[in-house]
Amino acid sequence: MRLGFLGTGVMGASMAGHLLDAGHEVTVHTRTAAKAASLLDRGAVWAASPVEAAEGRDAVLSIVGMPSDVESVYLGEGGVLSASAVPGLLIDMTTSTPTLARRIHAEAASRGGAAIDAPVSGGDVGARNATLSIMVGGDPGPVEQAMPLFQAMGKAIVHQGPAGAGQHTKMVNQILIASMMIGVCEGLLYAERAGLDGARVIESVGGGAAGSWTINNLGPRMLQRDFEPGFYVEHFLKDLGIALEEAGQMGLDLPGLAQAHAFYEQVQAAGMGRKGTQALLCLLEQLNGADRNQLGA
């Protein structure tokens, strides 16, 4: 297929690379052109704007930062939906709002295209290994057409329902992770204070009832003091904010989610918004009087 791909950051570059490897013709656009250099070296074509990346394409995929970015690249001046002929498939893989997903779906349909919301989970590791979980919202026919593209990037690919359902499912994912991140950090702090070998602890608990992607993938990074992003704190904080807003609209009170949101606000305020979500450990160390790591250092 002839594809446009918008956003080649921590996850997007690997995802676009898998599409190249699958034999698709990929035109890329990203705000920072240097982030696309490795893809251009492998045969991708550069586009100066989202609409240029969309012209003459069969499908456009995107994974950008914030809902405002999604709105801009699809609905803004020079956005995908201003193309002379809108591509048949528009697939946004950013974690965004269900409301915006439904809006893009309606706008695309009015111009002859089909929009799908397909946020992902798995972080930089899942993107590199093409093992992402992909949560899909949209009409059945277009979703079926998009499946070969999803299969090049992920493993657990589930059509959750109509437009917006993928984003709602991703909110469930983030709510689960929010409290889990607190538990992982607190557990590793406990292990350290008890004089245990953290790696051995993870070996034991990671294969039992407490096992999770978070402890098995981010736990070792925490032990190594590696707080570089697989997923940015600032983006996770955005997701938790969306989840809280959506929950409020449904009349739900989710105190665990609210606590995690408050913690991550403190992490970002300390200047660690561009670190990985595992940087929450630094805040909990500070709250417990640990002097090994200064928050924000």
How far is CA 128 from its chain centroid? 13
Residue 154: strand, helix, or coil: strand
Cβ atoms of 295 and 270 within 8 Å: the answer is yes
Helix axes 140-153, 12-21, angle to 10 degrees: 100
Catalytic option among 35, 155, 170, 238: 170
Residue 238: strand, helix, or coil: helix
Tokens 């299969």, residue?
151
Contacts for 66-71: CB closer than 8 Å, 24+ residues apart: 66/96, 66/235, 66/238, 67/94, 67/96, 67/97, 67/100, 67/238, 67/242, 69/7, 69/94, 70/94, 70/96, 70/100, 70/104, 71/100
CA-only gyration radius of the chain, Å: 20
Alpha carbon distance 16, 8 (integer Å):
7
Identify the DSSP state of 22: T
Q: Give which of 156, 181, 182 is closest to 170, Cα–Cα.
A: 156
In the annotation, is 155 catalytic?
A: no
Residue 193: strand, helix, or coil: helix
Task: Please identify every residue annotated as catalytic.
Answer: 170
